[in-house]
Amino acid sequence: MQAAHYVGGAFLPNDPATTTFPLVDPVDGSTVGQVPEAARETVDAAVRAAREALDGAWGATSPEERSAALHRIADEIQARFDAFVDAEVSDTGKPRELAATVDIPRAIGNFRAYADLLYGRPEQSYSTSVPGWSGSGQALNYTVRRPLGVVAVISPWNLPLLLLTWKVAPALAAGNTVVAKPSEETPSTATLLAEAIDAAGLPAGAFNLVHGHGTNAAGAFLTSHPDVDAIAFTGESATGSAIMREAANHLTPVSFELGGKNAAVIFADADLEAAVEGTVRSAFTHSGQICLCTERVYVERSRYEEFVSLLGARARELTDYGPMISAAHRDKVLSYYRLAVEEGATVVAGGKAPHFGDRRDEGFYVEPTVLTGLPQHARTVQEEVFGPVCHIAPFDTEEEAVRLANDSRYGLAATVWTRDLSRAHRVAPRIDAGIVWVNCWNLRDLRTPFGGVKDSGIGREGGTYSLDFFSEPVNVCIQV
């Protein structure tokens, strides 16, 4: 898959003068392609094309027309399903089954969900007799929604298509135009998405795509652009802070889904086998490279030793896992493995780079790792690693469990494992997190709010929450 910019309804040619950077296969470290780096002029052209479409053909569409367009995009992704899976696996190195059963189906579902949510969405109206500056009288108030305008969408490398479409679909549904910049590590499915949108027949400029890096490059050119009306970003908390500083210059609205250091709380009455298997999933799916993954596990003391033994055994059994996204990220994760030992951790499982005896030894793999023995203030317990690692610690009381779970600057997600329904209802709302799963993990209804507190983000995405962010309510008051 050859990555390319898509601006104003056309793919820009990658001529020899275009600055490029290598696309690396994380499985074996080989270079598999070249990605064009968008110059400021390319970003300017994309924003200008988006503005023209907003003022023109796309801005004139009705909700029903936009709903039909989103369904056509979903159809086009479905028609290219295998190509999307191939591109996702090539860019990320994740297991093919994961891409084929989660990433691509969810991208299709994102467009269909927002197409259906948009159609016939109700708004408020009030008929009342109220005093006003122009005198008392009967008034009819009703609300209409208008798009924010040109939206910049910045998406990460861990779930490239899923998280890109999670923002693009509601932005388009609400009538905005989009300029998207995927991670420089994972450009391929974004380029395929541009092909699908082009085939779906959206007006030129409704969706635009630019590739490149973030700092002093395409990402910064886009988020600091004076003609961008809103920014939707998923990625690291530090990057979110930098974008927010730029957005403040123009008072640009932002929606951020940022980092996490997610906790699992496992009570003594939990189904321990289910809790172990659930934690295997929540800690090691996609090699821990999901913002929702569990990195801190707190187990009631009477079951602590048993849980540690079972989870460690399961971690050592894992073989079908993917690499870190890059050599730099692999080195970061391994540095935390070393730091944990320096801080006094016991390595129950993993703790190093694996040896396969094949081409994967040239790739960016680290072992699924289980740690114990660290104090709560240890850096490995407090800082986001974003790899296949979790630290397990005991607790004695419900109050202590909540306190430990909340002792983090992050607050994205958490899991609670207990058979006591009353306890579940008591504990879940007290945990500082945007979403708390009870006896499960990553069970998602696309209509529910998703987002974090503290350093894990600003705002909520999902269902009407996304449509609310991507549109501006206007109250119309008529004296009758």
SS3 for 390?
strand
Please tell me the distance from the alpha carbon of residue 390 to that of residue 368, in angstroms, as a whole number.
9
Predicted confidence at residue 16, as pLDDT, reads 72
Domain(s) of CATH 3.40.309.10: residues in the chain = 262-454
Which fold would CATH assign to domain 6-258+456-479?
Aldehyde Dehydrogenase; Chain A, domain 1 (3.40.605)
The per-residue b/e assignment along 442-470, b for 16 or more CB within 10 angstroms, e otherwise, is: beeebeeebbbebbbbbbbbbbebbbebb
Rounded CA-CA distance 430/420 in Å is 16
Please report where in the chains the tokens 């009030």 appear, as a residue: 126
Q: What is the pLDDT along the chain (480 residues), one digit of tens a residue?
A: 689 999 999 999 877 778 999 999 999 999 999 999 999 999 999 999 999 999 999 999 999 999 999 999 999 999 999 999 999 999 999 999 999 999 999 999 999 999 999 876 788 888 888 776 666 678 899 999 999 999 999 999 999 999 999 999 999 999 999 999 999 999 999 999 999 999 999 999 999 999 999 999 999 999 999 999 999 999 999 999 999 999 999 999 999 999 999 999 999 999 999 999 999 999 999 999 999 999 999 999 999 999 999 999 999 999 999 999 999 999 999 999 999 999 999 999 999 999 999 999 999 999 999 999 999 999 999 999 999 999 999 999 999 999 999 999 999 999 999 999 999 999 999 999 999 999 999 999 988 999 999 999 999 999 999 999 999 999 999 988
Tell me phi and psi for residue 144, to 5 degrees: -120, 155
**What residue type is assigned to position 325 of the chain?**
I
> What is the rounded distance in angstroms from the CA atom of residue 129 to the CA atom of residue 414?
47
Residues of the chain with CATH 3.40.605.10: 6-258+456-479
For tokens 């860019």, name the residue: 91
CA angle, residues 275, 280, 167, in degrees to nearest 5: 105
Q: Are strands 389-395 and 294-300 parallel, antiparallel or unpaired?
A: parallel
Element (H, E) at 346: strand 346-349
| The amino acid at 134 | S
DSSP assignment of 35-77 equals EEPPPHHHHHHHHHHHHHHHHTTTTT--HHHHHHHHHHHHHHH
Rounded CA-CA distance 444/442 in Å is: 6
| Cα gap 357→268, rounded to integer Å | 41
pLDDT at 133: 64
State CA 431 to chain mean position distance: 21
Q: Check: CB of residue 113 under 8 Å from CB of residue 445.
A: no
Which residues are paired to 207 by β-bridges? 178
How many angstroms separate the CA atoms of 264 and 282, rounded? Answer: 9
Catalytic residues: 257, 291
Q: Contact 267/468 with Cβ under 8 angstroms?
A: no
- Tell me which residue of 406, 395, 407 sits closest to 433, measured CA to CA: 406
Q: Distance (Å, rounded) from C-alpha 276 to C-alpha 317?
A: 13
Crossing angle (nearest 10°) for helices 272-284 and 301-317: 50
Q: How far apart are CA 344 and CA 337, in angstroms?
A: 11
Closest to 239 in 3D by CA, of 186, 309, 183: 183
DSSP letter, residue 395? E
Q: Rounded to whole angstroms, how far apart are CA atoms 441 and 9?
A: 40
- Give yes or no for a contact between 156 and 239, defined as CB atoms under 8 angstroms apart: no
Q: Which fold has domain 262-454?
A: Aldehyde Dehydrogenase; Chain A, domain 2 (3.40.309)
Strand pairing report for 413-417 and 262-266: parallel
Residue 480: closest CA among 125, 34, 172, 28: 125
Please report the pLDDT score of residue 118 as a whole number: 82
Res 120: pLDDT: 65
The residue among 149, 354, 117, 136 whose CA lies nearest residue 232 is 149
The total number of residues shown for the chain amounts to 480
Quote the CA–CA distance of 257 and 234 in Å, as a whole number: 5
User: Residue 455 and residue 461: Cα distance in Å, rounded?
Assistant: 16
